[in-house]
Amino acid sequence: MACQILPADDSLLAEIEIWLDAEEATFQGALQAWEEADYEGDRPVRGFRCNWDSAKKGWREGRANIHVLVVDGEAVGFLDGTDILEIRPDLRGNGYGRILADFMIQSAIEDGRSVVEIEIAPSSAEPFWLHMGFTLVEQRQGYGGGTFAYKILPRTFELGDGQRVEYAIGFYTQKARYSEDPKPFSEFVGEGERLVDGRIQLPERAYCFNPLDDQHVDYFVKIEVDGDVAHFDKAKYEESALCGVQRDAGYDFYIERIDPGHGRIAP
């Protein structure tokens, strides 16, 4: 079996569209029968044809990447960025989904992401994603459609022989920041290495990810060094960036090195 994952081209997209059209026709027939039966049983599952035109438009305009799984010369599945993964209906259950999912995860790692986030629909696909190491979140604020799921992509770093420095990094919602006893939704504690330029190298990436909320703009970050608060402000502010806060390809904040000389405590 010859198996390749290739960047999309017009020929591959046209081939995919043929089986997406067939899948959509089957769905419409099943939907009509379901409605005529007074909605008895589960609602038929729809494929990706309804969003295919917008995906192609994004690809043609260079705003999105589509990769195609080709087996023995046939397009059997596709991956739209890290958002949509679909296998041709008559070929499901042959391990092709895992091939594309592994490719998606590896691509996210190479892009420097801290986490992969997906929507699972239909729910019958949930066991597959659990097997791939994803965590399911059935209730997430600001999220609709299928079940939200995520997979953390940990990054660790080997420290040298420099001075060890205790650190604690916490990420907070705006509500928690101004409560009487602020509690972070994500916290990283350990010992880093003080480098010759004064910055502190962490042994692991400290990432800002809240699985219960898809808003990434008003989180606060608290940085403590040797027990003292060096910085406590919104992660999106310039002062936070000067302290070492960065944003990855998925727009999640993270820290790998602390620069304690630029800290600020928000009132």
pLDDT at 215: 61
Q: What are the pLDDT digits (tens) for 156-172? A: 999 999 999 999 999 99
**Which class in CATH covers the domain with range 3-110?**
alpha beta
> Per-residue pLDDT for 210 more than 70?
yes
> 257 is written with which tokens?
């090195």
> Per-residue pLDDT for 194 more than 80?
yes
Distance CA(183)–CA(166), nearest Å, equals: 20
pLDDT at 116: 94
When pLDDT is averaged across residues 165-184 and rounded to a whole number, the result is 94
> Per-residue pLDDT for 256 more than 90?
yes
> Per-residue pLDDT for 238 more than 70?
yes
Distance CA(133)–CA(139), nearest Å, equals: 19
- At 46, is the pLDDT very low, low, confident or very high (cuts 50, 70, 90)? confident
Residues of the chain with CATH 3.40.630.30: 3-110
Helix, strand, coil: what percent of the chain each, to 5?
30, 35, 35
Distance CA(198)–CA(7), nearest Å, equals: 44
H-helix or E-strand containing 75?
strand 74-80
Helix (H, G, I), strand (E, B) or coil at 147: strand
Q: What are the pLDDT digits (tens) for 87-105? A: 999 999 999 999 999 999 9
